[in-house]
Structures are given as C-alpha cells and as structure tokens.
Structure 1
Amino acid sequence: MAETEAETIQAKMQKLLAEASKKSPEELVFNYKGVLYPRFMCSNESFQALESLEAREDDVMVVTYPKCGTHWAIKVIHELLYSLQNKDVPIDQAIIEFLNPEKVEHLKGKPSPRLFATHMYPDDLPKSFFEKKVKMLLIFRNPKDTAVSYYHFSNKNPVLPSFDSWELFFEAYMEGKVCFGSYFEYALDWNKHIDKENIMVVTFEDLKEDFKSELLKISDFLGLSLTEEQVALVESKTTFKSMKENSSNTHGKLGDVFFRKGEIADWKNYFTEEQSKELDAKFEETLAGTKLGEKMNYNKYCTF
C-alpha cells in the first residue's frame, strides 16, 4: 500500500529528528540578523529564497511567537478557507521560514488562497506581504504561559536546544537567547503594525474562553459569512481538545509535544515569586501602555 503524503512527511520528520538528537545545543542553532533560529528547520538559503516570494492580495498569514497557538490558528484558518468551501487542500508545512528553497519555489505555483504562517519579525518578512496588504492574523499569548509552554517544547523537541532546568530556560527566555528571539522585542515590533486594516490581533486566552465569538470575528475579518451550522462544524474540528486527540495523526510522535496542555495560568506551577516580579517589571518596561499590551489583559492573566 502506497504511503500517503502525510506519512511521507512524518517519515522525513522522524529522520530529521533522529539526526538532530545527536547534536550539541550550539550545533542546533544559527544566528540570522541577530535572532537565533533552529538550524535543522531554517537556513540562510531559505531566507534568501523567501525574498523572492511574491505575495498575493488574497493570501492569509498567521503570525505568532512560538507556543502562542500557531498550529491551532493554522487549523482554524484552514477549515475556514478550504474545508467549508469543499476544497480538498491538505495542511502543508505552512511556516514559511521552515521551507527549503525548492518548497518556496513550489509555493509560487499554488492556487489561491494560500495559507502561510510565520514566527518571523515584520522587518524580516518579504516586503510584498505588506505592500499587497495580505491579511494577517496575529496570535499572542500571555508571556508567562508562553514561557512555560516553550520550556517543555524545547526539552521535548530534538531540533531545539534543551535546558537542564526551568531556571536556566527562564533566564534565556528573559534575555531573548531562545530560538526566534525575545518575546518582548517580537511583540514590540508587531505592535507597530496592529493599526493596519489588514491585521487582526487575537489572544490565546480569548480563543480559549470564548472560542465561538472569536471564530466569528476571524471569519468576518477574512470576509466570510458563516451559517450557524458551519460555525458549529468548524468549532467541533478545531477545539484544542479535538486537535490534541487527533495529534498523533497530524503530527505523528510529536503530537503530544505540539499539543501539551493548552491551559491558562499553568505558569503558576513554575514561576517563583521573584521570577514573576522580574517578568512583571519587563512587561511594564516594554509592553505596558501599548495597544498590544492592553489587548493581552496582563493583570487578569499574569498575577498570582
């Protein structure tokens, strides 16, 4: 029996993970424009190839810092753009910086609408995504839960450097010495763009607490009109619980790595009072008073 495309992708991923598991933490990363990236997923050649990727006005881009709901958002948008329209389009590896140059070239021939995702800073994205006013959905999660989720993800994912303790990870996270750089610098850079009409900000917490309402807002942003039945169908397929239950099919052996808990306030099980105050001070210094900072509802989600 022939392998399905998903099985082929998973087999390649397992081979890559096995190779990565033999490398030292230093060998797993490289620096691109001052930001650390995972060497087994990104390359200078890929970044150079992305510069020639011409955006289309009907493209859709999911933008996230790692562990803020990337794969959840991709699944939601995929259902809205394709499944509800009865289009048989598989979920590709949509994170553009993970694509090799040949895959980037392949994207140029894909039919519209194309769905992309990225962890990249706005200044590093192909300029045409801003010139064509591509609709971008920015997903942010409170920085404390993001840190805890990223800690577990780093330690369970062989392509990322692991950390011997939560304390060591917290120090690296606060200094921006983790893959994809500083959460705070990333948020500040994207905060400069959130007033643009083609950009919508959604928080992980709002998705968790009122998924149906956020789903309707996202569909409106994409210019879609959903019936009650369609909303219910997308909701049933894209809850965190349903995606975690199906993760072994979608993400193979890494299913539990990508979909761990998906909870709010898990950070309280890890942060010391001193660490909490340190991050509070960092938030106050950087994001407090910004529109994105207000959207995060920090006092509600980040206090003991």
Structure 2
Amino acid sequence: MKFSKGKFIEVVEKSFSESEKMPPESMLFSYRGILYPATLSSPETLEALKSFETRSDDVILTGYPKTGTNWLDQMVMELESADAKRTEEEEKERINAEKKLESFPRLEFGDPGTYERMKKLPSRRIIQTHLAPHLLPPSIFQSKAKILVLIRNPKDTAVSYYHFYNNMPLLPSFSSWDEYFAAFMNGKLAWGSYFDHLVEWNKYIDHERIMLISYEELKEDQILGMKKIAAFFGFSLNEEDFHRIAKKTSFQAMKEKSKETHGKFGDILFRKGVVGNWRDLFSKAQNEEMDRKFEECLGGTKLAAKVKYDVYCKA
C-alpha cells in the first residue's frame, strides 16, 4: 500500500505515544503461539484477516522483519508506478483512498475493520506483510495474485532485528545481545521464529505464482534484481526507468529522505543497509550454534542455495 507520507508519520507518532504508557510486558500479545506488537494489531484483527479478499492483480510482498522489506516495498512501488503510467488525478485518488485505512502499511496491522476499508482501494493494490504462509488469509493462495518473498541471511537478519528491537518504542528492549540472541534462536520475538518462516517458504520455492529473491542478490546487482521482479509481475519498463529507480531507492537516498518520509521512525528503520554486519556481534559459540540450526532446518534446500549461506554466513 502506497501510504501518504503525512498520514504514515501521524500513525507512527500516535503509536509511539501510546507505547510510552505501556509496561514492557504489555507491548506484545500472542496469537496462535506467535508474538505481535499490541499497539499495531490485535487478536481480533488477525482473526478478521482470515476473511480478507485477495484480487487476482494484487501484488503481495512478504518478508520477515529486517530482511530489507522497506527497501523492497519502495522498489516495487516505483516499478509498479512506472508500469501503470497513472495520471496525476488517478494517483491522488489512490493516496486519498489509502489515507482512510488509518493503519501502518502492513496487512496484519490496524483494527478489524481495516479489511472492509481495503475493498475500496483501487487496483493494483500493493500489499505488504511480515506473516509466514500459514497465517496469511486463504484467499491469497486461492487467487491468481503473485507473491514476492524476500529472504536474507539469518545472521545479518538477527543483528539488524536486534538494533531495531532495542530502538523501537513499540517493542520491549533486551538488556544484552546475548539475551536477545537466545530469544532469536527460540523464536521468542515479534513475528516468531525466522527459521520457521524460512522452512515454510521453502515449501513454495517452485510455486509458479511465488518468487523468492534475496536481499544479498539485490545488493549485488539491484538493477538485475529489479528486472527479475518486473518480469515476474509482468511490469513493462525501459532501461532508463530501472536506472532512475535504482538511484531513487538506493539505501543512501532513502536514508537521506527518511525524516521526510518516515518521521521519527526513519532513524530506527534505516541503520546501515550492509551485508556482513553480523561479524561485529556474534561470538564463536553463537556462530557455530546458528550454523548448526540452519543446517538442521534448511541444509541442502533450494532456499539455502538461494540465500548463499556458505558465502555470507561462514566466518
């Protein structure tokens, strides 16, 4: 969902203000064994999500938190916009419709009535979520909508999520990296276990309407990655479009504009945007523990090859 900047900042700052009054133990709620931020969603919202009606032309973007989803979201919105060639009036109509959602641009956020309001959004809707497959509404898999799944090496994901967790007012902080690492390995974080998330998506790796792309391959060659994404969704762009969008959505460009686009959330959201930052925090024992866990969960899978674990996660 292409949220208007002003509305996004307003919703963010309202949530931050609400979280200041909450004790850490009240910041998360559990739904079907997985934790979620209480200021952004509720069990009632996640129950209502089951009845969400997907359209065949919906563009579904999904990835575990801190795998680069904000970067991917912006890229895909720019690609879709370049393909659609909407008039200024049509673009204004889309933004006005999205203002009425009154929530963050994630499928699982908002009040239970958000899905009724989403019916009023004009097509093509770009729908973003952090949810694993078994928590997505059935209509997503029953429709002809295409799903783009972003994955990232688990060591960098863990480190990025650690910094996010400790800087995000809506989430309870950890007293140390070691305490956080144990929670990450056991899936005791918002949105649950990253390993479970990867194992589930690996089952869909050959599905014709689902494409997995890695954060690392987008960092290696963003233009090539965007061309793959455009081909998957059937977007038609010229070479100039790809270069313009790559420049506009570089990490540095997005970080520089983050105050304008995301308000206070900008500094939390855009930290380093690099590959290999895990080496700064992992101990030898933690390194070996995650290697064993990844091998147990995903060793020899197509997803392991896609994320290039041996390239990006070996000391």
For each residue in 1:185-239, what CA deviation from the matched residue of structure 2 results, as whole angstroms up to 9, or x when unmatched?
A: 1110111112111111110011111111001110000112221111112111111
Counterpart of 2:303?
Answer: 292
Counterpart of 2:67?
Answer: 68
Answer yes or no: is the 8 Å Cα contact 1:236–1:242 preserved in 2. Answer: yes
C-alpha RMSD of the superposition = 1.6
Q: 1:102 to 1:277 in 2, by over 3 A?
A: same
TM-score by length of 2: 0.92
Distance in 2 separating the partners of 1:124 and 1:253: 30
CA shift for structure 1 position 245: 1.0
Out of 272, 288, 291, the residue aligned to residue 277 of structure 1 is 288
Counterpart of 2:58?
Answer: 59
CA shift for structure 1 position 84: 4.6
Answer yes or no: is the 8 Å Cα contact 1:53–1:108 preserved in 2. Answer: no
**Aligned 1:94-109 pairs, distance under 5 A:** 94-109=105-120
Gaps of 5+ in 2: none
For each residue in 1:115-168, what CA deviation from the matched residue of structure 2 results, as whole angstroms up to 9, or x when unmatched?
A: 011111211111011011311111011000000000000011011111011111
Counterpart of 1:267?
Answer: 278
Answer yes or no: is the 8 Å Cα contact 2:15–2:40 preserved in 1. Answer: no
For each residue in 1:50-84, what CA deviation from the matched residue of structure 2 results, as whole angstroms up to 9, or x when unmatched?
A: 12211111001111011001111111111111245
Counterpart of 2:154?
Answer: 143
For each residue in 1:67-114, what CA deviation from the matched residue of structure 2 results, as whole angstroms up to 9, or x when unmatched?
A: 001111111111111245333244873310013223221111211110
Identity %: 44
Counterpart of 1:29?
Answer: 28
**Aligned 1:102-121 pairs, distance under 5 A:** 102-121=113-132
CA shift for structure 1 position 15: 2.5
Tell me whether 91-100 or 262-271 shows the greater mean CA deviation: 91-100
Q: 1:5 to 1:209 in 2, by over 3 A?
A: closer
Answer yes or no: is the 8 Å Cα contact 2:63–2:129 preserved in 1. Answer: yes
CA shift for structure 1 position 11: 2.7
Tell me whether 218-227 or 5-14 shows the greater mean CA deviation: 5-14
Counterpart of 1:238?
Answer: 249
Distance in 2 separating the partners of 1:5 and 1:302: 37
Distance in 2 separating the partners of 1:70 and 1:190: 16
SS at match of 2:263: helix
SS at match of 1:281: helix
Q: 1:256 to 1:83 in 2, by over 3 A?
A: farther
Say whether 1:12 aligns with 2:26.
no
Gaps of 5+ in 1: none
Answer yes or no: is the 8 Å Cα contact 1:154–1:160 preserved in 2. Answer: yes
The residue identity in structure 2 corresponding to 1:46 is T
Q: 1:55 to 1:8 in 2, by over 3 A?
A: closer
Distance in 2 separating the partners of 1:151 and 1:9: 24
SS at match of 2:9: helix
Counterpart of 2:259?
Answer: 248
Say whether 1:81 aligns with 2:80.
yes
Say whether 1:212 aligns with 2:223.
yes
The residue identity in structure 2 corresponding to 1:96 is L
TM-score by length of 1: 0.95
Answer yes or no: is the 8 Å Cα contact 2:108–2:129 preserved in 1. Answer: yes
Answer yes or no: is the 8 Å Cα contact 1:37–1:180 preserved in 2. Answer: yes
SS at match of 2:149: strand
Counterpart of 2:232?
Answer: 221
Superposed structure 1 runs of 4+ greater than 3 Å apart: 89-93
Counterpart of 2:170?
Answer: 159
Tell which has more relative contact order, 1 or 2 (C-alpha 8 A, sep 6+): 2
Q: 1:200 to 1:5 in 2, by over 3 A?
A: closer
